[in-house]
Amino acid sequence: EYTVINENCPGAEWNIMCRECCEYDQIECICPGRKERVGYTIPCCRNEENECDSCLIHPGCTIFENCKSCRNGSWGGTLDDFYIKGIYCAECRAGWYGGDCMRCGQVLQASRGQILLEGYPLNARCEWTIHVQAGFNIELRFSMLSLEFDYMCQYDYVEVRDGDDLDSQIIKKFCGNERPPPIRSTGSSLHVLFQSDGSKNFDGFHAVFEEITACSSSPCLHDGTCILDKSGTYKCACLAGYTGNRCENFLDEKNCSDPGGPLNGYRRVAEDTGFLNGRYAKIGTVIAFFCNNSYVLSGNEQRTCQEDGEWSGKQPICIKACREPKISDLVRQKVLPMQVQSRETPLHQLYSSAFSKQKLEIYPTKKPALPFGDLPPGYQHLHTQLQYECISPFYRRLGSSRRTCLKTGKWSGRAPVCIPICGKAENITLQKTVTSTRWPWQAAIYRTANRVKENSLRKGAWILICSGALVNERTVVVAAHCVTDLGKTIVLKTAELKVVLGKFYRDDDRDEKTIQNLRVS
């Protein structure tokens, strides 16, 4: 029994614990995390071996495990606080509190906030309960998670429950360092539990929460209005034509099923004509069809959803085709019958002549199918050939005489051009008289008889009035009086004049195949 009061002891509280030899001495502990030595002064007594025994039996360095100098706080307690009041640490890391920085968790009642646990010791256990206003839900988002990983999350983990205690339905356990997706409660509370085992320490976690309503995520489709009831659940007020809990369905009225886009093309709803949701289209919806590059649309460019639930017209297709090349007025174009190129090689042809027809049937050669579908004007199918020639023998063609529509959607060869052979005439020989020699640059100028005062001429007839000279393929030089009325300077209208080339005989009744009647522009 200790009855001696030693003045060296710090206060009356120590009387029952200290003997006459009460004195102070420095005790050192080694923190398990960084292996740092932490010293503190406590009363002690000399034992038989002249060693200072502490007046209190202290369980090693456990109180220092959570202090910042070693783990979660900073040492700063006075002697009295250390022994009597249980305040060992002056400052704790975020998420921890208490004199030993070993306490964590709390009840949070706010519209928004955070849960932060900066580091954690061994065998820690923390609980948080989050409450928001009745009628609201809670959304919890993890911005950082650093715990010991395990597939079953049975060592260090965070457990979230849909309610306010451990008996509530569990939502999920989380561990490792992969942030989970946002978590939403069905009611106005969430319970969060953190548990660590007796090995390994990591950085902890950080999560933020806020109160939301069932309408916060805009659950109503097709511009439906979200309405909350007293229980916190929502209902959708749908626009006309829609039904379902989320306005996801059309009403049971006649609609058109989505016809889809053509192969090698796509479809699009014409502006302000209706609605198409990938499955159905409303009555009156107009769909326009388009093709990818080097393909041409064959069929209806647009289709309309009719009142009987059927689409107008027929589904178009996209056909590989070539746009007809542009040519000048001096070039005559002819479309040859389409001939699909055979895939037979010269070796096939050699076998064809060497073997009987019966043997060839064993090894038939495949021929590509002819294209199907009508093309719009100005386009040609693959393998189509165009043949070109000049409109008159007085022109010479440059470029390809034939061009083929290739699989690339382009034409083979070069574009044809016809150029005039100006001034070139045949040599006069004894066999040919001068009267039979042709002069291709000469042009005849004709005028209508509408304004000519001749009773013998019928109205609308053409009269030869002048001759001219061909300068180039579009220009003829004539005297000025040829294009005006007699004694006047006003030029005649172009519709009253025409130019004739290739004419040899003055008599208009004689048939001449080389004649070209050209308009004046």
Please spell the DSSP secondary structure of 482-499, one letter per residue. Answer: GGB-TT--PBPPGGGEEE
Instruction: Count other Cβ atoms within 10 Å, centred on residue 408.
Output: 11
> How far, in Å, CA of 445 to CA of 435, rounded?
21
Domain at 270-322, CATH from 2.10.70.10, 3.90.600.10, 3.40.50.2300, 3.40.640.10: 2.10.70.10
Specify the CATH superfamily of domain 434-519: Trypsin-like serine proteases (2.40.10.10)
Give me 473's structure tokens. 């393929």
Identify the pLDDT of residue 61: 37
125-131 and 106-109 strand pairing: parallel
Give the Cα separation of 389 and 395 in Å (integer): 9
Contact 15, 9 (CB under 8 A): yes
DSSP state of 13: G
Q: Where are the domains of the chain?
A: 12-92, 106-212, 270-322, 331-420, 434-519
**DSSP run (H or E) holding 139:** strand 137-146
| CATH superfamily, region 331-420 | Complement Module, domain 1 (2.10.70.10)
Per-residue pLDDT of the chain (521 residues; tens, 9 = 90+): 333 344 444 444 444 444 444 554 444 554 444 555 554 445 555 555 666 555 443 333 344 444 444 455 555 555 444 444 555 666 778 888 877 677 899 999 999 999 999 888 888 899 999 999 887 889 999 999 999 999 999 999 999 999 999 999 999 999 999 999 999 998 899 999 999 998 888 889 999 999 988 788 788 988 888 888 777 678 898 887 788 888 887 765 677 888 888 999 998 888 777 777 767 788 888 999 999 988 999 888 999 998 888 899 999 999 898 999 999 888 999 998 776 555 555 555 555 555 444 444 454 544 445 556 788 888 888 899 999 999 888 788 999 999 999 988 899 999 999 988 765 555 555 554 455 556 777 888 888 877 666 555 666 688 888 888 888 878 889 988 888 887 788 888 888 888 888 777 777 777 666 777 778 87
The architecture of the domain spanning 106-212 is Sandwich (2.60)
- Phi/psi for 79 (5° steps) reads -60, -45
The answer to whether the Cα torsion of 299, 304, 306, 310 is positive or negative is: positive
The rounded distance, in Å, linking the Cα atoms of 449 and 426 is 36
Two domains, one topology: 270-322 and 331-420: yes
Using left for φ > 0, alpha for ψ between -120 and 50, and beta otherwise, residue 307 falls in: alpha
What is the token pair recorded at 347?
């070796």
